[in-house]
């Protein structure tokens, strides 16, 4: 930790000498919050800041960035492409949590300091640590936590751990955040409880998931209020007693269905509340906030996500909420598509090919969600076509990682063998490969994952 903080101060020293800075960041929730943290910290330090969002950093993108002739601060990406960056850009720093290709002095990255970048520190929490070295930026802790939750860094244990937990602790101590032991379902702030349960598919709740009547009856059978004074009650409107009843009944159902204890722990873990945000809005709960952000930049509307992070509660916020409807529809259609086309199992992996029916920018989210019904003993590989070729998203489980699976390493090998590029984390990785090479890619990946499981 000491070494990481020391590096943060060194990088802050480098930034302090620059006047014009280009922040380059990723289009997901972690990337948007990282970019917003960097932008705000630099603006407060009186710098001239520009920001650029990228889907991925291939060598053409790196060349375009180099053409801007500005000092560059890469956030939530860069470490996986550090060789290309070093070749093309002379003045830059990186705050990222992806597995670094090589170690350099200008990267603040948990992996370099002995931490895991898939659950101990996100792009946003890494960037926040640097922001604090630049100036008084403690209030940006809420964005840091939204980013970490957006990257599912709390999903292994149902709570943030490692250095993320230190960052959270600061936010709690300074009165910006509350960490609450609570059911970890989506929509606690904004959805009627019966809808929240109906829309929960991970884990699948028999008789409740996808079943409005069933969900309603479940609540009624427990004596939990569904409606009062002509309005549907949300989770936050229920009494502690009602919440306890629902939670223990869900736990009982899962135990009776032989769900592993670790999965149950993840469901009744922690929720993170942004204390300065209005109760009952997407912005109040880190999980809902991060989904709102994913609904923006992944659809090319990064300005909207950035504006919301920087405090827009008017036009930008309204636009984000309408994009969220669209995002939810797309995720639900994505899951329906998998149901139709099926998941094909190979020896060590399983896959589905969405063609152009799922956007390449959300295929990774859908791949992760598919674990609610896919075989949890094999990594899920998903393909979606885009204009550059085929986007690959891969997801594993914590148990698979503990058994030796490292998706970033496996994907990198398989992608490079077929003329593509890839990387990421042990538990989640991605690549772009040339069209038509999917079968060859799968064959290699199946073999490499098999080898990882043997070692
Ligand atoms: O590019 P980036 O690192 O931000 O993406 C991380 C991805 O890894 C997220 O999309 C997240 O869904 C996935 N992930 C996961 N399970 C974890 C940690 C991350 O699926 N435990
Ligand atoms: O796009 P997706 O969410 O599947 O990405 C999973 C992880 O793999 C992310 O951390 C992402 O940054 C990384 N990735 C990568 N190179 C790619 C595609 C994704 O390093 N070409
Ligand atoms: Zn990230």
pLDDT tens track of the chain, all 455 residues? 889 999 999 999 999 999 999 999 999 999 999 999 999 999 999 999 999 999 989 889 999 999 999 999 999 999 999 999 999 999 999 999 999 999 999 999 999 999 999 999 999 999 999 999 999 999 999 999 999 999 999 998 999 999 999 999 999 999 999 999 999 999 999 999 999 999 888 788 889 988 999 999 999 999 999 999 999 999 999 999 999 999 999 999 999 988 888 888 888 899 999 999 999 999 999 999 999 999 999 999 999 999 999 999 999 999 999 999 999 999 999 999 999 999 999 999 999 999 999 999 999 999 999 988 899 999 999 999 999 899 999 999 989 999 999 999 999 999 999 999 999 999 999 999 999 999 999 999 999 999 999 97
**Predicted pLDDT at 34:** 98
**Predicted pLDDT at 182:** 94
Q: How far is the CA of 260 from the centre of ligand 3 (A)?
A: 28
**Predicted pLDDT at 266:** 83
Please name the residue whose Cα sits nearest to atom 10 of ligand 2.
424
Question: CA 44, CA 258: separation in Å to the nearest integer?
Answer: 53
Q: Where are the alpha helices (DSSP H) in 151-285?
A: 163-173, 193-198, 212-221, 240-256, 261-267
CB atoms within 10 A of CB 202: 18
To the nearest 10°, report the CA torsion of 13, 16, 20, 21.
40
Six-digit token string for 22: 């280009």
In short, whether 34's Cβ falls inside 6 Å of ligand 1 is no
Most ligand 1 atoms within 8 A of CB, residue of 152, 154, 160 to mutate? 152
In short, whether 348's Cβ falls inside 6 Å of ligand 2 is no
Residue indicated by tokens 């003993």: 377
Most ligand 2 atoms within 8 A of CB, residue of 74, 77, 424, 425 to mutate? 424
In short, whether 100's Cβ falls inside 6 Å of ligand 2 is no
Q: How far is the CA of 424 from the centre of ligand 2 (A)?
A: 5
Question: CA 178, CA 160: separation in Å to the nearest integer?
Answer: 13
The atom of ligand 2 lying closest to the CA of 58 is 21
**Predicted pLDDT at 201:** 80
In short, whether 27's Cβ falls inside 6 Å of ligand 1 is no
In short, whether 425's Cβ falls inside 6 Å of ligand 2 is yes
Question: CA 256, CA 249: separation in Å to the nearest integer?
Answer: 11
């Amino acid at each position: 930790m000491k070494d990481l903080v020391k590096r943060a101060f060194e990088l802050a020293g480098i930034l302090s000498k620059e006047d014009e800075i280009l922040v380059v960041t990723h289009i997901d929730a972690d990337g948007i919050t990282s970019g917003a943290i960097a932008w705000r910290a630099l603006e407060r330090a009186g710098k001239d800041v520009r920001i650029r969002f990228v889907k991925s950093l291939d060598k053409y993108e790196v060349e375009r960035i180099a053409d801007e002739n500005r000092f560059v601060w890469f956030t939530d990406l860069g470490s996986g492409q550090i060789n290309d960056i070093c070749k093309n850009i002379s003045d830059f720093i990186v705050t990222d949590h992806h597995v670094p290709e090589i170690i350099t002095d200008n990267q603040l990255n948990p992996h370099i300091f002995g931490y895991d970048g898939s659950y101990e520190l996100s792009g946003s929490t890494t960037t926040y640590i640097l922001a604090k070295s630049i100036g008084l930026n403690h209030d940006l802790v809420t964005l840091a936590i939204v980013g970490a939750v957006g990257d599912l860094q709390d999903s292994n244990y149902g709570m943030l751990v490692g250095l993320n937990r230190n960052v959270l602790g600061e936010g709690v101590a300074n009165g910006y955040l509350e960490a609450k032991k609570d059911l970890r379902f989506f929509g606690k702030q904004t959805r009627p409880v019966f809808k929240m349960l109906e829309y929960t598919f991970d884990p699948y709740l028999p008789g409740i998931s996808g079943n409005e009547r069933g969900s309603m009856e479940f609540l009624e059978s427990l004596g939990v209020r569904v409606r009062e004074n002509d309005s549907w009650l949300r989770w936050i409107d229920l009494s502690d007693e009602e919440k306890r009843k629902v939670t223990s009944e869900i736990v009982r159902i899962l135990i009776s269905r032989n769900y592993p204890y670790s999965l149950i722990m993840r469901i009744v873990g922690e929720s993170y509340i942004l204390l300065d945000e209005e109760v009952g809005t997407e912005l109040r709960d880190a999980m809902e906030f991060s989904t709102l952000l994913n609904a923006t930049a992944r659809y090319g509307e990064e300005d909207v996500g950035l504006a919301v992070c920087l405090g827009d509660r008017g036009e930008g916020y309204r636009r984000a909420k309408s994009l969220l409807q669209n995002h939810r529809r797309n995720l639900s259609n994505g899951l329906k598509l998998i149901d139709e086309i099926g998941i094909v199992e190979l020896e060590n992996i399983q896959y589905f090919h969405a063609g152009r029916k799922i956007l390449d920018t959300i295929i990774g989210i859908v791949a992760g969600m598919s674990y609610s019904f896919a075989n949890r003993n094999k990594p899920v590989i998903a393909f979606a076509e885009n204009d550059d070729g085929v986007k690959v998203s891969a997801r594993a489980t914590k148990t698979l990682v503990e058994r030796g699976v490292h998706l970033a390493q496996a994907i990198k090998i398989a992608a490079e063998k077929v003329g593509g590029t890839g990387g990421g984390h042990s538990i989640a990785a991605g690549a772009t490969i040339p069209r038509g090479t999917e079968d060859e890619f799968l064959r290699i990946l199946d073999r490499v994952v098999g080898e990882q499981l043997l070692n």
